[in-house]
Amino acid sequence: MTKKLITDIELAQAGHANGISTHLAAKGPSGRLTEAEKQAIIENAAAAYANFLEALGCDWKNDPNSEDTPRRVAKAYVNDLWAGRFQPLSEITAFPADGYDGIVQESNIPVTSMCSHHHQTIGGRVNIAYVPSKDGKVVGLSKLNRIVEHFARRGAIQEQLTVAIHNAVDKICEGNKGIAVMLDATHNCVSCRGVKHHGASMQTAKLSGCFVNEEATRAEFYKNIELAGRHRS
């Protein structure tokens, strides 16, 4: 089974916080950044963050806790928080469904993201399901986790993140009968700033095909989320 590079799955414009970086976009559809190029991005971002701290009256150079902070923050953005903006989604292998046309679901996929508006973290769980056709395609389960990481590790708008995950799964699982994605998350920009309400959570869902047209399939999706909840904690 050959691996396939999935392209044309980015919903947001390159350069936007929820899109890929302008550096990666300049490389073309299947281009990658070299380690040296990533390092240069980290260096530039660290210098800019040092200015940001100075603007806030932080004498970071003389504070033992802050002297490496510009670099730490820059590295965290490039390697973790916004990692999905600096590399294309890796190749994904889809396998023949071989006659299976039931629901395939992964629930409770942890998601860590960051809101595009305030750069505060978003944390929660994603639930993904699809129904392959008998002669369609299925993917290795961990690939669903990888798709979540690719789109969540960047600036995000939860509604748009839900659709981006949905569309990528739809594209990879060729010949599917329907896709369901439900995201349940808390936003630190709501709990730590502004209204400062702790514990409020946001649910978004994008359903298509049989999950829209068949009440029983949709009910099975939400029932599976409940069942999977038993494995948590």
Between CA 119 and CA 121 the distance in angstroms is 7
Return the number of the residue (117 or 134) whose C-beta is nearest Zn ion.
117
Return the number of the residue (3 or 117) whose C-beta is nearest Zn ion.
117
Position among 4, 117, 134, 197 found at the interface with Zn ion (CB under 5 A)? 117
Min dist CB 105 to Zn ion, Å, is: 29
| Residue closest to 169 by CA, chosen among 134, 114, 203, 127 | 127
Min dist CB 106 to Zn ion, Å, is: 27
Candidate ranges 22-30, 93-101, 107-115, 136-144; the one touching Zn ion (CB under 5 A): 107-115
Between CA 186 and CA 124 the distance in angstroms is 6
**# chain residues binding Zn ion, by CB under 5 A:** 4
Min dist CB 184 to Zn ion, Å, is: 17
Candidate ranges 27-35, 110-118, 194-202, 206-214; the one touching Zn ion (CB under 5 A): 110-118
Between CA 147 and CA 120 the distance in angstroms is 21
Candidate ranges 4-12, 43-51, 80-88, 114-122; the one touching Zn ion (CB under 5 A): 114-122
CB-nearest residue to Zn ion: 189
Candidate ranges 42-50, 138-146, 184-192, 194-202; the one touching Zn ion (CB under 5 A): 184-192
| Residue closest to 84 by CA, chosen among 164, 161, 150 | 150
Q: Does 128 bind Zn ion (CB under 5 A)?
A: no
Q: What is the DSSP string of 115-170?
A: ETTT--EEEEEEEEEEE--TTSEEE-HHHHHHHHHHHHSSEE-HHHHHHHHHHHHH
| Residue tagged 């971002």 (tokens) | 45
CB atoms within 10 A of CB 170: 18
Alpha-carbon distances, residue 187 vs 48, 113, 156, 161, 166 (angstroms): 26, 9, 11, 14, 21
Return the number of the residue (118 or 171) whose C-beta is nearest Zn ion.
118
Return the number of the residue (12 or 50) whose C-beta is nearest Zn ion.
12
Coil, helix or strand at residue 222: helix
Return the number of the residue (92 or 114) whose C-beta is nearest Zn ion.
114
Position among 118, 145, 214, 222 found at the interface with Zn ion (CB under 5 A)? 118
Residues found near Zn ion in the complex (CB under 5 A): 115, 117-118, 189
